[in-house]
Every structure is written in structure tokens, then in C-alpha cells.
Amino acid sequence: VKSGARTMAPRAMAPCRIALAAWWLPSVVGLNNGVSLRPPMGYNTWNDLGCEALSAASVMQAADALIQQGLSDVGYEYIVIDDCWASDRDPVTQLLVANPTNFPAGMAPVADYIHGRGLKVGMYTDRGPKTCEGRPASEGFEWVDAATFAKWGADYLKEDSCFASTDHARALQQYGIMRDALLATGRPIHFALCGWRPWYASYGADLANSWRISMDVNFWTGVWYAAVINSELSQYTRPGAFNDPDMLLGSTPGATRTLDPHQSRTQFSLWAIMAAPLILGAHLAELSAFDLETYTNSEVIAVDQDELAIQGTILWEDCPARSLAELETTIESTLPPPPECRQIWGKQLSDSSYAVIVINWASTMSSVKVDRATMLKIGLDVGARVRDLWSHQELGVLSEPQYDIEGFGGSRLFRFMAPQFAG
């Protein structure tokens, strides 16, 4: 979804799922395409290039930069071409036509170039009649478009939800049609459902490999809302099926949207705890040393890519009580800033350790203790051996560690292990 061009979906009511379950899935029950057993990692053009700067040359340059910066070496593999690549639909063949000015040779040579660099190609469409930027989209043409994307060698498809029906049953049916069309191509394609509402989560694994659960994250407040909404949806994440809180924002100048450096690092850490897709939106060719260090931290990436694919949860917080319904109402209006509060999240890892993040959403520095009650929630009743995943330092065995955390989105990320654990 892009700002200024969205049709909002109404909130779902609990009985809706029962009423829809019998008929909304056409032909295939569940998504079994064998891709993305761990969260996808890559780059998307939107937060970097937007619409005006998108071209064959800029996409190929992004692919080159992903490799040159060493990002492909740590797992980033998708180059996702977002909105504005298409300009028309051929009235005879019904095939999508690439913008002749920005993609004069069409999309196939761009895809071939990306594949030639050893990377994977992502494409973009919308379930409505036009995309968020008013370009031709896939409503009524799902089978034609899926075949086109597969012919070009697409490995990933993001399908947005602008200018589309707000009826839940219709939305699910449309996404189901595209799912089936992609499966019918025989090509393994990560299907990224972009409906930007949490009610999709309960259907997500039947429809797609990932599904957006909140509005676009364009600034720091959006990080808060995406995180707390996602905190209510952890039960839906599993290998091959992931809640998606949106793309990552870097701090390097030049992209269309950025965060402060410490906030961008907190977002990266929290996304790893949540087993979220790690899709970069920064200008890759000119990444700051800070952002490059953030995006290539192998210890944090390992948290995100852990084979259990467990989404972390909130272990402790002093934030105001909230409900998913209240949060969904809030994101349909002007977003108030994050509350003056703190949180501790934890995620079980496959080696029986826990990744733990301490976040300060408040506007001033705060001291946060991981007390015994919180330790007990992750099975550590006699303290933990603690490793800082950003300084890469062993901090010893601690019983109730306490940390001073920078305001406006500061955080610390750790790995907690049982004291006798030697891994």
C-alpha cells in the first residue's frame, strides 16, 4: 500500500471466519509451494526508489550493490520490483506491458540480469483493477499475470490491496485465485500477500508465504504499531508462513524514508525476534557503515532465520493495556506516538537458548531490569549466561540483568543461555 491511494478494509468480526471457511478457498486448500521455510531476505525498490526513480538501470544497480556490499553473502537474495514498473495491458493478448520509458526492453531482460547475478526476482501487482499508483493490476487477470510472472522467472510476488473490494470474502477469494494461479505455473514463487490488516493472519498460511498485518511503516511510530499488532498474532507464524510487519527502514540518507540510526537498528533487532521477512528499503549503493553493520550482523540474522521459525512474544512490559481491535481502529486514523513505556521480548531458538530484546519506547533514557519473574518465563530460574549480539561480547552469568536504554527507540539485544549451556 502507498500513502494516498488505498481503500481501507473494515475490521473483521469473529463469526466471519466460520461463515467463510466453507467456500472462500477455490480449488486448493492450503499453500504448499515449498518455498520460504525461513523468512525471506532481500531488497524492495519502494522505500528506496519510489515511483519516479524506478527503472531497469536502477533495479540492476540495486542488484549489483546487494552483491558488492556483501549482503548476498549473509542471505539477502530477492530483488523485489515494486509499483510503477507497468504502464498498460495489451488489449489483444491481455498481457501486462512494462513502462516503455523506464523499462524499454521489458521486464524479462531485467529478470535475466538479476538471475545472472545469482539473485532472485520479485514482482509486484495488486488484487484490484489498478495498483496503488494507478497502474494496471490483476483483478480478473490473475491466471494471465501469474503465467507472465513465471515466464519472466519471478521467484517472489507481492500482491497489494489498493482500489480493491473491502469485503473480506471477496478479498480472500481474490488472493486465493492468485495463489492457485501461481501454483499452477509449477514455479516455486514466494507469495507475499499485502492486505495491511491483522485479520488476514488467521487465513494467511492457507493463502500465502507471508502477509502484511499493518499499514506501511514510514516512520518510527509505524514501527511501534506494527510491532504491537504483530505481538497478538504469533500463533500464525510457522515455517513457510510469516506475519509481515512491513519493510525495513535504514538510516542512510538518499532513500525516500529513513529512521534515526538507533531506531533502524532496533527495528532490525525486533524484526529478527518476530521472525519477520528482512526486506531492505535503503539505498544499497551508498549504505552508511552503520547500516551495513546492522544489515550484515550474522548473529542477529541467525535469530531471524532460526530453523524453528518461532515468532517471539512480549515477556514483560509497562505499556498501556490494548486490544487488537483497538489497535486496528487506531491505524485507520492519525497515529499517536508510541507511549512512554518499555518492553522485553523473547524468542526461543533451536539450540534451546533465547533471544531477548529490551526496548525503550519512551522519550527519555530508562533503566530496565530483566527480573526473576521474566527469567522464569523462559525457563531460566538460576540466571543466564548472556551474550550481547551487537557488541559480540560475553557478559557472564547474570541473575537479574539491568540495562540503561536510550530513549526514542533504543534497545539492547541478547542471547540468554542456561548457565551450563556451552553452545
Catalytic residues: 160, 216
Name the DSSP class of 136. Answer: B
Q: Which three cell numbers stand for residue 293?
A: 553493520
Hey, which residues does 122 pair with through a beta bridge?
A: 80, 156
CA distance 238 to 327: 24
CA distance 391 to 100: 48
Contact 299, 394 (CB under 8 A): no
Minimal CA–CA distance to 30: which of 171, 198, 183?
183
Residue whose C-alpha cell reads 492457507 in the numeric block: 206
Minimal CA–CA distance to 157: which of 130, 183, 129?
183
Minimal CA–CA distance to 82: which of 127, 6, 133?
133
Q: Which three cell numbers stand for residue 144?
A: 494471465
78-80 and 120-126 beta bridge pairing = parallel
Minimal CA–CA distance to 349: which of 382, 400, 318, 387?
387
CA distance 207 to 61: 33
3-state secondary structure at position 140 = coil
Please state the separation of Cα 332 from the chain's center in Å. Answer: 20
Task: For the beta carbon of residue 9, count every other beta carbon within 10 angstroms.
Answer: 20
H or E segment at 356?
strand 354-360
Q: What is the dihedral of CA 279, 40, 119, 141, to 10 degrees?
A: -90
